[in-house]
Amino acid sequence: MATFPAITPSTRTRTPGEYPQTAHAAANGREIRIRHSSRTAGDRLRLGFDNITQAQLVSISDHWAAHGRRVRFALSSEVDGGLSLTPTSCSWRYAGPPQASEDTLANLSGHAAGFHSVSVELALVPLPV
């Protein structure tokens, strides 16, 4: 399985998903909910990378170009930071393209050398059985 580039993010924001459930009307007219799993669905992870080099920006851009929204991947230990962000039966995929300051991911050759900021949003997906 592929691995996200080994760059330590400046920020990590994890948004938990919701439990899959179905609402039903009870005999007394109230609503009851039946949970279908003990695992949440739709977990998101936003990674912010501030003041990264152009080479690091290119590695994130190349990873997005190679994997897009369809290919699952693991997080490197630098990204995870020892927080155990990935359950054992899951992996990550991109929720959307990386968002760079000044939107320079499409034309990296025209970007001045120096430091850049980029954010990446990932979605947690279960591994195939």
Number of structural domains (the chain) is: 1
Strand ranges, E, within the chain: 2-3, 11-15, 21-25, 31-35, 44-53, 73-74, 90-94, 99-100, 115-126
Query: Coil, strand or helix: which one is 52?
Result: strand
Query: pLDDT 10s digit of each residue in the chain, 129 long?
Result: 689 999 999 999 988 887 778 888 888 889 888 877 777 778 899 999 988 888 898 999 999 999 988 899 989 888 888 777 777 788 899 999 999 865 455 455 544 556 788 999 999 888 776
User: Which residue segment(s) compose the domain that 115 sits in?
Assistant: 2-126
Residue 54 structure tokens:
């152009």
Length of the chain measured in residues: 129
* pTM to 2 decimal places: 0.75
